[in-house]
Amino acid sequence: MNLLLFGPPGSGKGTQAQFLSVEYRIPQISTGDILRDDVKRATPLGRQAEVFMKRGDLVPDELMVEMIRERIRRADCSGGFMLDGFPRTVPQAEALDQMLDSIGQRIDRLLSLHVDAEELVTRLTERWTCPSCSLTYHPASNPPRDDQRCDADGAGLIRREDDNAETARRRAQVYFERTYPILDFYRPRGLVVEVDGNGPIQEVRNRVKVALQGEPRAA
């Protein structure tokens, strides 16, 4: 299964990806996580990406396409993969198609999560992230067992620099202007599965499970 995860920042892609990765036994490839790791290590990519990420803008397509090309060639993707945060522009989607064509693969499904705008801002400004493994938490809907520590590795949780109200709104705007239109690129192929991402995590998880079992359909 080659799966694309879509949805505005804070819609729960990373949270649902955790379940899906176990269920389908495919790696979750989060371009945001890869970029943040590069920023931390001050690699050439990280140094170029940082300024865009801080503003809530998209990192240029050429950099992102090269990153994904390298990532999906790795052995762990041979049985399928899940892309969380890529493609985010039509040129990225076109480049992904070409890349997959050249290795005899294709996208099987695109899961799009829909969440109310105000809920998105609340989720992002209250999100806690593990700086070590990137798992996310929320004080109300998904608290860690131990106050402020990651359940998986015990690292102290942090608030991402771009998870402030102003940048969160900017990221949502960028999503609706530049990323949302990609759905029309995939829709004619019948791959798009739309799911209501409002409500408790477990409920969304059940909806996602049912939606991915059936034929692609609108919510």
Residues that bind ligand ADP (CB under 6 A): 7, 9-15, 31-32, 35, 52-53, 56-59, 64, 85-86, 88, 92, 123, 127, 136-138, 141-142, 171, 199-201, 204
Q: What's the rounded Cα separation, in Å, for the pair 115 and 167?
A: 18
Q: What's the rounded Cα separation, in Å, for the pair 86 and 125?
A: 22
Q: Catalytic: which of 55, 71, 149, 160?
A: 160
Q: What's the rounded Cα separation, in Å, for the pair 52 and 174?
A: 12
Q: Residue 16 CB, nearest distance to ligand ADP (Å)?
A: 7
Nearer of residues 147 and 215 to ligand ADP, judged by Cβ? 147
Nearer of residues 181 and 190 to ligand ADP, judged by Cβ? 181
Strands 128-129 and 136-137: antiparallel
Residue 100's CB: how many other CB atoms inside 10 A?
14
In the residue annotation, 159 being an active-site residue is answered as no
Q: What's the rounded Cα separation, in Å, for the pair 33 and 40?
A: 11
What count of residues does the chain have? Answer: 219
Residue nearest to ligand ADP (CB): 32
In the residue annotation, 88 being an active-site residue is answered as yes
With 0-12 CB in 10 A as exposed, 13-18 as middle and 19+ as buried, what is 165? Answer: exposed
Q: Residue 127 CB, nearest distance to ligand ADP (Å)?
A: 3
In the residue annotation, 160 being an active-site residue is answered as yes
Nearer of residues 98 and 190 to ligand ADP, judged by Cβ? 98
Q: How far is CA 158 from CA 66, 72, 125, 127, 177, in A?
A: 29, 29, 12, 9, 29
Q: Catalytic: which of 36, 88, 109, 123?
A: 88
In the residue annotation, 171 being an active-site residue is answered as yes
Q: Residue 1 CB, nearest distance to ligand ADP (Å)?
A: 19
In the residue annotation, 13 being an active-site residue is answered as yes
Nearer of residues 64 and 111 to ligand ADP, judged by Cβ? 64
- Catalytic positions, written as ranges: 13, 88, 127, 160, 171
